[in-house]
Amino acid sequence: MEKNISQPTPLKSGAGNNSRKFLTFVLNNEIYGIDILSIKEITDFSNITRVPMVPGYIAGMVNLRGNVVPVIDLAQRFSEQPSERTRRSSIVIVDIKSNEKSMVLGIIVDEVSEVIDVSLLEIVPAPEFGTKIRADFIHGMGKVDQRLLVLLNIENILAIDELSSF
């Protein structure tokens, strides 16, 4: 099923050999980006089976073509209130590498926007303070169209050791 996605404010690409592609998405009215190389697919927000006795940011599990995939509520992982689920809500399936292991997880986002190119010269280090989320969750800030885009470090956000320690 293909979604009809409206884009909050389109970001222009900085295409070139020295750039990286990022999937941009909206979460609690903020735009974030994840390196496209971490993403396996995007699926509709659908039947999530809640698992008892897990932290609130673990939304549950989904059956993805016969595979059980844990799903993380990214807003709650950022210590924010969960977003309202709409028909534009999606689950982004990512492949995380941790300690030589690979794990497939889903993250809930409010709305998938677009894939953009960000020049490596336009990525600056994450600030030490002043963001709503932990500094180690941020890969850097991408300068795109006179705006800053928060580029997430998905491996730190979904660190298996930290998620499983609860």
- Reading phi first (left if > 0) and then psi (alpha if -120 to 50, else beta), residue 56 is in alpha
pLDDT in tens, the chain (166 residues): 344 333 444 445 455 568 899 999 999 889 999 999 999 999 988 889 999 988 888 999 999 989 999 999 999 998 777 778 888 999 999 998 877 788 899 999 999 999 999 999 999 987 776 667 888 899 999 988 888 899 999 998 988 766 665 4
72 vs 82: CA distance, rounded Å = 11
Q: Model's pTM, two decimal places?
A: 0.82
Number of Cβ within 10 Å of residue 126's Cβ equals 19
> Which domains does the chain possess?
19-163 (2.40.50.180)
